[in-house]
């Protein structure tokens, strides 16, 4: 019997043929007559859209799902009704659903991991914007003819969810005519979904674990003769171990599947992005041969070798491995690097770049003695250095054009941007406002760069702009953040540091590649390769791993291993944009060896880099705190080589509490600023942060990050034992209400008030769209100041009345700053009529203040600078601005600053690579 819709039109879609049918509707291939393209039309079952409330919720979710722009998500073009038929128009891709593929047996290990990584990437994208699939199963995963996974039907599960969202076992039962379809859906439900409880992203993790189990074993993890028996198995039984059905599946993959299928959502992967990282690492190990390869049926397992045969096999394997390692080792791996010091300044010389012919080096230096960085150029063969720029603002990050005639660099002048200047001297020309980390393309026609806050990794996006000037074009638009682009040797790819995720989650950062014309970003697999050598991506700490140069098949970068930071290289296939080998260290110094730039000269490989010495300590700024007037020179009051952060002063300014890692672990220390005596107050293996002195100076609160999570402690400020106050109350920021409470904050929850006696806490302020950070009360505890993160490039400071009994509505928030700049970390003056804060409105992060009306706390006049940190040697450069401190007491402000000095070195390695 022919289908009545085939040959008809729904709106401007001409129905061509029926593709399939399921519980969620019938799917047709159709022709979009408006845009002349093929589409897939899903006609929705009439009984599913008969309930107006159910349809409204479905349409709302479908609209959100249509915004999912991801290569592994089937894109929704339209949702409409015509001729009494409700339908969706979707992307049409040739391929087969995974369910059809599994009818022929289980997948190989390589297929499983390839498809699983893509599917979890799609889920991570959806979860990041709050969309839970709810009906993940093999029938909703398509594999195209090119091996690309497309996850289908985001939002369609809303159609089967009753309006009251209370789905019980009885309500889940459908007419027997739908038994096959519903049984298939039930088989992949999470326990909480089967019981009708509220579901979140962890439900999708369970469902995907069921799909993954079936991919490697060929069987569903939960199955019964009836729907009720299947539901009972999901709720009460454990699936048969994977190794019983597929003994060749790696133990690592089986453990991962078991974790997905935990009955308790709290024991599963809490974030599908973490699951994706684990799968990707297994995929890389499979590709490298370090993990078991293609799955084979149990009956095809080879017989065990006898002892003699096993020994012989091991010897052959060892000889083969040795031959392979020797063959694949770089030709110069045994060559000694010859180091030559290029600059010998007492200040700071940094961010070097080599010209393509290897004859010139450009770098930034403050050697002129006026406090700022300028661009200098010198010949490697010798001779005097030439100063190219003379701006009062810092100029740094130079990059040569391929012919060596021009330089592009970053300048902090006028809010920051990219400038181009002739190497032989001349006037600089503004190329791009706000740009950082510029790189000329190999043909010299384009310049790639990023825009964003240098210290906030998720604020950046990458662009290309014509080298002669013009409109910039954003790349990697499918990622949440991207920065520090470098060109492949042939100019066909750009490699950069980025993530698909939004702020507020753990960040699955990696190196990615894209093309200059804006193709979808593809991850390189660097994350797993660098992690395997204990080189960690750390975007929320002081050292993200950024690629600096790409020469031949090698990418050069600076990374930290243990306590040393050196120059490394790693092989990357320029054609595929994939890491193909392990990282290898090139320099072995004890300083911070950063910003490598590499060229070839004949058979010699040359690399210049900056060898820096950096220390973070506590400094004292004398001032009249109620006026915001500096009264003397800033001085360092802790002199250790260790990291010292988050200072807290006593009210008389004589005692300092701070965090130091001098013992190898972050601990709370107390220092007498009169006698200079110091001692550690904590010495646990966990690491402590955020020491907060109570208003009367008798108690000290701090946070410890233990195995079970963040824990808040309170202890006497002198001698005594710390008492646990509460767990899960992260980011304590200040005491309030004469020491009766503590203010903390969370990017997900908002500003929280903690009872200092009981440890109970509740939300004091929150916003559905923005993060509220760094709350601090006025000295009389009548007001609370905080800052709001509305974007990666701006923060805004507000003041609200302190009302512990109820949340203050947004209409009563008093704006203190405009919201146009990165203004954050407010701190009150002792009289409560001045608000200090950090701001990057002039480029570098500096100390500013705003006068307030004594009674209304509304701003009076304009904000004014208190102290500038425009020089490159000393500044507030901690990525987490909260760690700077801004503590006031005894006519001084204590704050944590980073001081840097260094010089440029040349490393020469023999041998081509």
The CA distance from 746 to 98, in Å, is: 40
Residues in the chain: 913
Distance CA 360, CA 404 (A): 8
- Which 3 state secondary structure label does DSSP give 276? helix
Instruction: Supply 776's token pair.
Output: 């601090």
The answer to whether the beta carbons of residues 821 and 839 sit under 8 Å apart is yes
Q: How far apart are CA 793 and CA 433, in angstroms?
A: 14
> Measuring CA to CA, how many Å separate 805 from each of 381, 765, 776?
72, 11, 17
The encoded tokens of residue 47 equal 């009984």
Active site includes 135? Answer: yes
Backbone phi, psi, residue 713, to 5°: -120, 155
CB 580 within 8 A of CB 570: no
Place of tokens 């997900």: 748
Instruction: Round to whole Å and give the CA distance between 275 and 204.
Output: 11
User: Residue 241 is encoded by which pair of tokens?
Assistant: 């171990």
Pairing of strands 374-379, 750-755: unpaired
Rounded distance, CA 506 to CA 128, Å? 11
Closest among 820, 877, 889 to 846, alpha carbons compared:
877
With contact defined as beta carbons under 8 Å apart, do 659 and 691 qualify?
yes
What gap in Å lies between CA 336 and CA 544, rounded to an integer? 28
Nearest to 395 by CA among 417, 380, 379: 417
Helix (H, G, I), strand (E, B) or coil at 713: strand
CA distances (Å), origin 299, targets 104, 218, 245, 302: 17, 14, 11, 9
Beta strands of 757-794 (E only): which ranges?
761-765, 771-777, 783-789
What DSSP string runs through 513-555? EE-TT-PPPEE-SHHHHHHTTT----TTTT----EEEEETTEE
DSSP letter at 108 equals P
Which residue among the candidates 32, 86, 121, 135 is catalytic per the annotation?
135
Task: Provide the b/e sequence for 528-537 (b: ≥16 CB within 10 Å).
Answer: bbbeeeebeb
Calculate the dihedral angle through the C-alpha atoms of 881, 884, 888, 893, rounding to the nearest 10 degrees.
-120
Backbone angles phi, psi at 64, to 5 degrees: -65, -40
In the chain, the largest separation of any two C-alpha atoms, in whole Å, equals 97
899 exposure class (CB count in 10 Å sphere: 0-12, 13-18, 19+): middle
Beta 761-765 vs 771-777: how paired, if at all? unpaired
Between the two ends of the chain, the Cα-to-Cα distance in Å is 67
The three-class DSSP label of residue 133 is coil
Cβ neighbourhood burial of 28 (10 Å; 0-12, 13-18, 19+): buried
Q: How far apart are alpha carbons 692 and 743 in whole angstroms?
A: 11
Give the CB-side neighbour count of residue 818, counting CA atoms within 13 A: 8
| φ, ψ (nearest 5 deg) of residue 437 | 50, 55
Question: Which regions of 249-357 does DSSP assign to beta strands (E)?
Answer: 338-341, 349-354
Residue 184 token pair = 């298939």
Q: What order of strands is seen across the sheet that includes strand 406-411?
A: 395-400, 406-411, 417-422, 429-433
Q: How many CB atoms lie within 10 A of CB 640?
A: 15
List, by residue number, the catalytic residues: 135
């Amino acid at each position: 019997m022919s289908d009545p819709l085939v040959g008809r039109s729904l709106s401007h879609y001409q129905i061509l043929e029926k593709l399939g049918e399921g519980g969620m509707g019938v799917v047709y291939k159709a022709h979009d007559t408006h845009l002349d393209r093929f589409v897939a039309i899903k006609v929705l079952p009439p009984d599913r859209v008969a309930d107006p409330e159910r349809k409204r919720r479905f349409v709302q979710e479908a609209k959100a799902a249509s915004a999912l722009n991801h290569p592994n998500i089937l894109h929704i073009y339209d949702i409409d009704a015509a001729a009494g038929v409700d339908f969706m128009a979707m992307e049409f891709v040739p391929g087969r659903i995974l369910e059809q593929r599994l009818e022929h047996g289980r997948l190989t290990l390589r297929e499983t991991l390839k498809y699983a990584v893509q599917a979890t990437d799609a889920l991570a994208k959806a979860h990041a914007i709050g969309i839970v699939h709810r009906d993940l199963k093999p029938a909703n995963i398509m594999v195209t003819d090119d091996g690309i996974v497309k996850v289908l039907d985001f939002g369609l599960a809303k159609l089967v969810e009753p309006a009251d969202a209370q789905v019980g076992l009885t309500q889940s039962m459908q007419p027997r005519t739908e038994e096959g379809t519903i049984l298939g859906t039930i088989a992949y439900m999470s326990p909480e979904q089967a019981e009708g409880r509220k579901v979140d992203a962890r439900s999708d993790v369970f469902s995907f674990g069921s799909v993954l189990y079936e991919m490697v074993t060929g069987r569903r993890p939960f199955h019964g003769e009836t729907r009720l028996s299947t539901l009972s198995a999901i709720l009460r039984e454990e699936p048969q171990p994977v190794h019983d059905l597929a003994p060749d599946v790696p133990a690592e993959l089986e453990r991962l599947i078991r974790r997905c299928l935990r009955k308790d959502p709290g024991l599963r992967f809490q974030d599908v992005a973490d699951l994706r990282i684990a799968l990707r690492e297994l995929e890389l190990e499979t590709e490298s041969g370090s993990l078991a390869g293609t799955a084979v049926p149990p009956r095809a397992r080879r017989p065990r070798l006898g002892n003699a045969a096993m020994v012989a096999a091991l010897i052959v394997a060892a000889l083969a491995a040795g031959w392979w390692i020797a063959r694949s080792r770089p030709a110069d791996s045994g060559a000694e690097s010859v180091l030559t010091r290029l600059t010998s300044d007492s200040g700071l010389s940094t961010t070097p770049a080599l010209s393509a012919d290897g004859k010139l080096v450009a770098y930034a230096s403050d050697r002129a003695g006026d406090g700022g960085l300028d661009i200098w150029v010198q010949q490697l063969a010798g001779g005097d250095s030439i100063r190219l720029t003379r701006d009062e603002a810092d100029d740094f990050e130079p990059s040569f054009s391929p012919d060596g005639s021009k330089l592009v660099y970053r300048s902090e002048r006028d809010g920051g941007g990219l400038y181009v200047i002739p190497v032989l001297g001349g006037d600089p020309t503004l190329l791009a406002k706000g740009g950082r980390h510029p790189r000329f393309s190999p043909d010299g026609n384009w310049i790639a760069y990023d825009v964003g806050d240098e210290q906030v990794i998720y604020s950046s996006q990458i662009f290309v702009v014509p080298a002669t000037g013009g409109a910039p074009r954003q790349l990697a638009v499918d990622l949440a953040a991207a920065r520090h682009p470098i060109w492949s040797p042939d100019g066909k790819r750009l490699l950069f540091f980025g993530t698909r995720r939004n702020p507020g989650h753990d960040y699955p950062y990696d190196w990615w590649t894209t093309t200059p014309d804006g193709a979808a970003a593809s991850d390189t697999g660097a994350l797993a390769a660098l992690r395997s050598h204990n080189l960690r991506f750390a975007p929320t700490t002081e050292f993200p791993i950024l690629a600096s140069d790409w020469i031949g098949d090698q990418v050069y970068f600076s990374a930290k291993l243990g306590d040393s930071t050196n120059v490394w290289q790693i092989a990357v296939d320029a054609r595929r944009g994939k890491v193909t080998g392990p990282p290898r260290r090139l320099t072995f110094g004890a300083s911070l060896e950063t910003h490598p730039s590499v060229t070839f000269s004949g058979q010699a490989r040359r690399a210049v880099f900056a060898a820096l010495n950096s220390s973070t300590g506590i400094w004292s700024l004398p001032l009249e705190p109620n006026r915001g007037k500096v009264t003397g020179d800033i001085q360092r009051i802790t002199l250790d080589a260790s990291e010292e952060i988050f200072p807290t002063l006593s009210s008389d300014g004589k005692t300092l509490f701070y965090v130091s890692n001098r013992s190898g672990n972050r601990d709370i220390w107390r220092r007498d600023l009169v006698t200079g005596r110091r001692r550690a107050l904590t010495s646990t293996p966990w690491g402590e942060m955020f020491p907060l002195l109570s208003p009367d100076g008798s108690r000290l609160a701090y946070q410890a990050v233990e195995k079970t999570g963040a824990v808040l402690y309170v202890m006497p400020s002198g001698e005594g034992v710390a008492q646990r106050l509460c767990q899960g109350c992260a980011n304590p920021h200040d005491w309030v209400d004469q020491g009766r409470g503590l203010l903390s904050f969370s990017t997900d929850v908002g500003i929280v008030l903690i009872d200092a006696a009981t440890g109970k806490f509740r939300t004091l302020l929150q916003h559905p769209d923005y993060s509220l950070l760094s709350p601090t009360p006025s000295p009389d505890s009548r007001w609370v100041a905080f800052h709001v993160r509305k974007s990666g490039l701006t923060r805004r400071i507000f003041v609200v009345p302190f009302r512990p009994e109820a949340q203050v509505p947004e209409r009563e928030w008093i704006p203190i700053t405009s919201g146009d700049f990165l203004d954050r970390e407010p701190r009150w003056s002792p009289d409560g009529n001045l608000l200090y804060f950090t701001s990057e409105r002039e480029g570098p992060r500096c100390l500013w203040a705003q006068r307030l009306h004594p009674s209304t706390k509304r701003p009076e006049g304009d904000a004014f600078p208190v102290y500038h940190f425009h020089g490159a040697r000393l500044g507030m450069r901690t990525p987490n601005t909260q760690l700077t401190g801004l503590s006031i007491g005894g006519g001084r402000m204590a704050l944590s600053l980073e001081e840097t000095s260094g010089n440029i070195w040349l490393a020469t390695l023999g041998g081509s690579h």
